[in-house]
């Protein structure tokens, strides 16, 4: 990929960069999206039957088993070159914030440090009653594991349909988007709110907005630079073009 020289020069001197990542980045590590993962036994259910507070109240074991199955599927996944290129960018840029809609934890696995997980992390479990996090639990039990503190049912630390995004992470993401010089939208459709609004918040505050995605999205006409292809290929090329040493 021949990146525009003016873009390379600008990124070389940029000190505040924000990156938003979506499912496309994880797909390159072999992970299916939520709906694509609904095969076999799980194909008979609507997404909201597996990932909503109402579903958990109605059939907690069903919801627990769905996430246990997904955690098992994620175990074999590894970060791809795109993940590692973002780690390199964070090491090179003074003020770098990575915002992700993914719940698989692969960015942290790769070594990214300043990560805002807008939709939570499927590898974490917390109490549905008191909110206490737990480090150990059993996925193969006949009943949903319970909290050691209050006895409430444990649940995955992810955002379900009908739930608000974690306030602290969302507010930090908005602040970072409004303050950055460059905003990257990578592997995301740009339509899922409120994450989709971050690119517009950045643009409205004078940021250069860059899209890296397999195909054009509704955001494409509004960005300054659009590069279409696999992020696992384009990001390493971009890092090499900007920081040749």
> What average pLDDT does range 38-58 have in this prediction?
85
Q: Which residues pair with 134 in a beta bridge?
A: 125
Chain segment 159-198, per-residue pLDDT in tens: 999 999 999 999 999 999 999 999 999 999 877 788 889 9
Task: Report the alpha-carbon distance of residue 182 to residue 210 in Å, rounded.
Answer: 7
Chain segment 4-37, per-residue pLDDT in tens: 999 999 999 999 999 999 999 999 999 877 666 5
pLDDT surpassing 70 at residue 96: yes
User: What CATH code is assigned to 5-31+79-119+165-242?
Assistant: 3.40.50.1220
User: Picking from 36-40, 139-143, 236-240, which range would have the lowest pLDDT averaged per residue?
Assistant: 36-40
3-state secondary structure (DSSP) of residue 117: strand
Question: What percent of the chain clears pLDDT 70, i.e. is strictly above it?
Answer: 96
Task: Report the alpha-carbon distance of residue 236 to residue 86 in Å, rounded.
Answer: 8
pLDDT surpassing 90 at residue 1: no
- Note the pLDDT of residue 39: 65
pLDDT surpassing 60 at residue 80: yes
Residue linked to tokens 């992390």:
121
- Note the pLDDT of residue 76: 86
User: Picking from 33-47, 141-155, 199-213, which range would have the lowest pLDDT averaged per residue?
Assistant: 33-47
Q: For helices 81-92 and 231-242, what crossing angle results, to 10°?
A: 30
Q: Which residues pair with 19 in a beta bridge?
A: 98, 184
User: Per-residue confidence at 119, pLDDT binned at 50, 70, 90?
Assistant: very high
Closest among 194, 159, 186 to 23, alpha carbons compared: 186
CA dihedral (181, 113, 99, 57) in degrees, to 10, reads: -160
User: CB–CB of 174/198 below 8 Å?
Assistant: yes
Give the active site residues: 119
Closest among 13, 28, 6 to 212, alpha carbons compared: 28
- First-last CA distance in the chain: 18
DSSP H stretches of helix in the chain? 5-13, 23-27, 53-58, 60-75, 81-92, 106-110, 167-179, 196-204, 231-242
3-state secondary structure (DSSP) of residue 85: helix
The CA-atom distances, in angstroms, between 84 and each of 16, 87, 89, 90, 233 are 19, 5, 9, 10, 11
Angle ∠(114,160,78) on CA atoms, nearest 5: 45
- Name the pTM for this structure: 0.93
- Note the pLDDT of residue 224: 96
The residues spanned by each domain of the chain are: 5-31+79-119+165-242, 40-76+127-158
Q: If you ran DSSP here, which 8-state letter would residue 93 be given?
A: S
| Non-local CB neighbours of 179 within 8 Å, separated by 6+ positions | 16, 205
- Note the pLDDT of residue 99: 98
Q: Report residue 36 as tokens.
A: 């694509």
User: Picking from 58-67, 109-118, 133-142, 235-244, which range would have the lowest pLDDT averaged per residue?
Assistant: 133-142
CATH architecture of the domain with range 40-76+127-158: 2-Layer Sandwich (3.30)
CA dihedral (86, 223, 18, 200) in degrees, to 10, reads: -150
Task: State the chain's mean pLDDT as an integer.
Answer: 92
């Amino acid at each position: 990929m021949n990146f525009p020289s003016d873009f390379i020069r600008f990124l070389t001197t940029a000190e505040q960069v924000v990156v938003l990542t979506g499912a496309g980045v994880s797909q390159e590590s072999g992970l299916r999206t939520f709906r694509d993962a609904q095969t076999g036994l799980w194909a008979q259910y609507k997404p909201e039957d597996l990932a909503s507070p109402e579903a958990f109240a109605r059939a907690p074991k069903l919801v627990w088993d769905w996430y246990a199955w997904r955690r098992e599927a994620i175990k074999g996944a590894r970060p791809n070159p795109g993940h590692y290129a973002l780690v390199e960018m964070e090491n090179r840029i003074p003020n770098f914030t990575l915002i992700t809609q993914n719940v698989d934890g692969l960015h942290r696995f790769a070594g990214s440090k300043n990560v805002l997980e807008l939709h939570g992390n499927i590898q974490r479990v917390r109490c549905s009653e008191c909110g206490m996090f737990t480090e150990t639990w059993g996925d193969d039990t006949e009943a949903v594991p319970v909290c050691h503190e209050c006895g409430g049912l444990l649940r995955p630390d992810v955002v379900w349909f009908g739930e608000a995004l974690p306030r602290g992470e969302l507010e930090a993401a908005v602040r970072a988007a409004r303050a950055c010089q460059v905003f990257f939208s990578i592997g995301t459709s740009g339509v899922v709110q409120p994450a989709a609004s971050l690119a517009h918040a950045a643009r409205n505050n004078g940021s250069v907005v860059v899209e890296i995605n397999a195909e054009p999205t509704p955001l494409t006409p509004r960005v300054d630079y659009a590069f279409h292809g696999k992020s696992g290929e384009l990001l390493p090329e971009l890092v090499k073009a900007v920081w040749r040493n």
